[in-house]
Amino acid sequence: MLKILEQVRKIAFWSLDALKGGNVRRHYKEIEWVQNNPSSDKSKQITTDNLSELLEHAVKTVPFYFDVSAEKIALEKFPVVNKQTVRDQFELFRSQPYIDKHNHQVLTSGSTGKPFRILHDKNKRDRNTADTLFFAKRAGFELGTKLYYLRLWDKQYNKNKIQSAVQNISAHSVDELNDENIAKIISEIENDNSSVSLLAYTSALDSICKYLDKHFDRPLKCQVSSAIAIAEALDEGVKDKVKKYFGVEVVSRYSNSENGILSQQQLNSDTGNFEINWASYKVEILDLNEDKPVELGESGRIVITDLFNYSMPLIRYDTGDVGSIYFDPSLGSYSFAGVEGRKMDMFTNTKGAYISSHIIHHILQFRGSIQQFQFIQEDNKMYVIKLKALEKLSPKDEDAILRQYSEYFGDDARIKIKYVKDIPLLPSGKRKLVINNSTKNLKPSSDSRTQEEMVDLVH
């Protein structure tokens, strides 16, 4: 019966897409061809045409790019931009024909802690859906099967019970991942008679595996068909434990909210390489200090051109991440050897146990005048919250912040709010959201958790 329901969901999805014109299916077929035949003349022509059409659209309809010559348009003629460029000149990045059309707003806290906003048109949303389906299938996921989705569920991504049931999603928030809730998740998975898949922050998988180390130390009685780790680097220790307890290989995905899936690890790969989504993005690796390409295999800034967002084209967009590219014979195309520069320091509470660094994003509910923020742990019990704000928060809001973070760090935590003029940039162009000056003096508990900077993808 469950298998039949899974097939019904799959058929219903593609039938609905067909009734709407079959746009997701067309995108999926194009992605499938380009990714599976990267060196073919057809694939090269497809990506070349998609890039040319986007650039031509930008110089004709997007005010920010009006100064770029419309004659012999070439990618290198476009300036490198970043989040701050878009924030400061938001309206100039909007394509004029799309201003009065329906656009989907995407919000992310960004690397500075300051909210970042971008608009997606419907075709871009359909492309992201097709990307998600393609790369999920690469990892072993089949449309219609049960998905256990562990992430920070804020208002933008929160799903109600009806949405979750229709999409067959079991949603769990990482900021509620204590032993009691982990036990419930494990029980739900073991009692689920269908084939299930996991999509989760690496730190969430790590926490679950540590719980299983303490309470199970045996493979779970479940049918897991795929596991994808998002938001953080995936180390071998977590990979091994997921394989032990869930019986499946977990792969790491590199993505962000403003664009989508940029790359993903391959199954059964000895190299751990990341297959780049060349079908939907043009990727450049530029010098850390200059807007010039680095040598093959050398680390540099990851700069992408989104080929499908016509509402707000992001051309030569500096993601703020650092990585390197090499030619992968197994794929017949260039792959990421790794993505660096996204790692965050870890928090510990006053008892020395590591806790999720995603708790810092709860400060955004007080965003009012807050422009940037940074959390610093000075020692085992001393924490500093640096704020760059247009004006000081009210005593009531300051007290609310202190009370909320005392719940995370411990009742005996000493927390100080410090107002600053600016939070310095790192060489990568990012501001570090978390600094822990005490970890070298602390011994991790058996319930320790790791966390890195969040990059999101809507399932």
260 phi and psi, to 5 degrees?
145, -145
> Would you give the DSSP letter of residue 82?
-
E strand spans, 202-351: 224-230, 250-255, 261-265, 274-276, 281-286, 300-306, 317-328, 333-340, 347-348
Instruction: Answer with the residue of higher pLDDT: 5 or 389.
Output: 389
CA-CA-CA-CA dihedral for 357, 176, 147, 267, to nearest 10: 30
Confidence of residue 112 (pLDDT cuts 50, 70, 90): very low
Hey, what amino acid is at 41?
D
The per-residue pLDDT for 250 is: 96
Token pair recorded at residue 426: 């790192």
Token pair recorded at residue 79: 């300036």
**pLDDT higher than threshold 70 for residue 439:** no
Hey, what amino acid is at 406?
S
Residue partners of 62: CB distance under 8 A and separation at least 6: 92, 93, 94, 95, 96, 313
Distance of CA 33 to the CA centre of its chain: 25
Q: State the Cα–Cα distance between residues 102 and 122, nearest whole angstrom.
A: 8
The per-residue pLDDT for 231 is: 79
Residue 252, helix vs strand vs coil: strand
| 455 touches 342 (CB < 8 A) | yes
Token pair recorded at residue 286: 């530029």
Task: State which H helix or E strand residue 403 sits in.
Answer: helix 395-409
Q: State the Cα–Cα distance between residues 291 and 405, nearest whole angstrom.
A: 40
pLDDT in tens, 115-127: 789 999 999 999 9
Lowest mean pLDDT among 241-245, 345-349, 445-449: 445-449
Question: Above pLDDT 70, what percent of the chain?
Answer: 85
User: Which of 165, 215, 166 is closest to 190 using CA atoms?
Assistant: 215
pLDDT in tens, 262-284: 999 999 887 788 999 999 999 99
| 255 touches 455 (CB < 8 A) | yes
The overall average pLDDT reported for the chain is: 85
**pLDDT higher than threshold 90 for residue 454:** no
Q: State the Cα–Cα distance between residues 41 and 34, nearest whole angstrom.
A: 10
Segment 236-250 mean pLDDT: 92
Segment 410-433 mean pLDDT: 75
Residue 65, helix vs strand vs coil: helix
Segment 128-133 mean pLDDT: 97
The per-residue pLDDT for 289 is: 82
pLDDT in tens, 302-332: 999 999 999 999 999 998 888 899 999 888 8
The per-residue pLDDT for 437 is: 83
Beta strands 370-377 and 382-389, pairing class: antiparallel
pLDDT in tens, 67-87: 998 788 999 999 999 999 999
Q: What is the pTM of this model?
A: 0.75
Lowest mean pLDDT among 72-86, 176-190, 225-239: 225-239
